[in-house]
Amino acid sequence: MYKIISKKEIGPKVRTYEICAPEIARNAKAGQFVIFRIDDKGERVPLTVAGTDPQKGLVRIIFQEVGKSTMQLASLCEGDCIKDFAGPLGRPTEIKKYGTVVAVAGGVGTAEVLPVIKELKQAGNRIITVVGARCKDLIILEDELKRESDLLLFATNDGTLGIKGFVTAVLKDVISREKIDIAYAIGPVPMMKAVAELTMLKRIKTLVSLSPIMLDGTGMCGACRVSIGGKMKFVCVDGPEFDAHYVNWEELASRLELFKNLEKISVDKFKYSQECKCHKK
């Protein structure tokens, strides 16, 4: 069992937890992830390691309530335990001195970008971070991003922070003014695809962190397969980071839609069960 040491809400239905998991805290690196399972009947859900404190044995995760399992996780309190917390999984980000790095994050993808830019900054890189969201209230981790970035830029759909528009508009402007040595993007599939198309035109190497449907996390089930340069790869063991210019984005988007109806049914059942508990009280 793994105890929840701290719990904070950092955005609308976005929470950060610190989980007591000493072995993972000692070994996890930027870009890697864990898989949690709340109880014996729970599904296995991957979450990026958003930070660690090896001395205290703590692993930080950040998640948004989007499905039954994340809603159930959000209902737990400090001191509660979850049954399984496996990791670190996946290949870590290759950290070296590239020069100028532009990191593009959309939504909760900000939580995945943060540990990457932190280590890239420590390796001597200049970090330009571009964050996108629907509005200012949905931006998370702004203060932490400022500490790790040489330049922090925003794009919001409604113009409440930064420019009004998408991250690609900001990225295009950055590319026109700066010599970018490598780009890194994490967020919704349409955003990552748009970033990849833009950087391909400029011949800027671009890495993306993919989050497909995943089960065991060890390469045995094949659920997280993606097509990279025409070859099948498993995100859990070959990734989660890949060259954005070789990702089959259409296939990835299609596979992510496979269980949408079942996911909605699961969420509705969970909400109903919670309402019933409230009525009984």
Q: What average pLDDT does the structure give for the chain?
A: 89
What is the pLDDT at residue 145?
94
CATH number for region 2-89: 2.40.30.10
What is the pLDDT at residue 232?
93
pLDDT at 116 over 80: yes
Model pTM?
A: 0.86
The residue ranges of every structural domain in the chain are 2-89, 91-209, 210-258
Decide if 122 contacts 99 (C-beta within 8 A).
no
What is the pLDDT at residue 41?
82
224 is in an annotated binding site: yes
221 is in an annotated binding site: yes
236 is in an annotated binding site: yes
Decide if 212 contacts 226 (C-beta within 8 A).
yes
Long-range residue pairs from 120-124, CB within 8 A, at least 24 positions apart, any chain: 120/93, 120/95, 121/148, 121/149, 122/95, 123/95, 123/96, 123/97, 124/97
pLDDT at 263 over 90: no
Which fold is adopted by the domain 91-209?
Rossmann fold (3.40.50)
With bands split at pLDDT 50, 70 and 90, how would you rate the model's confidence at 262?
A: low
With bands split at pLDDT 50, 70 and 90, how would you rate the model's confidence at 274?
A: low
Decide if 249 contacts 265 (C-beta within 8 A).
no
Distance CA 57, CA 120 (A): 23
Mean pLDDT of 234-253: 92
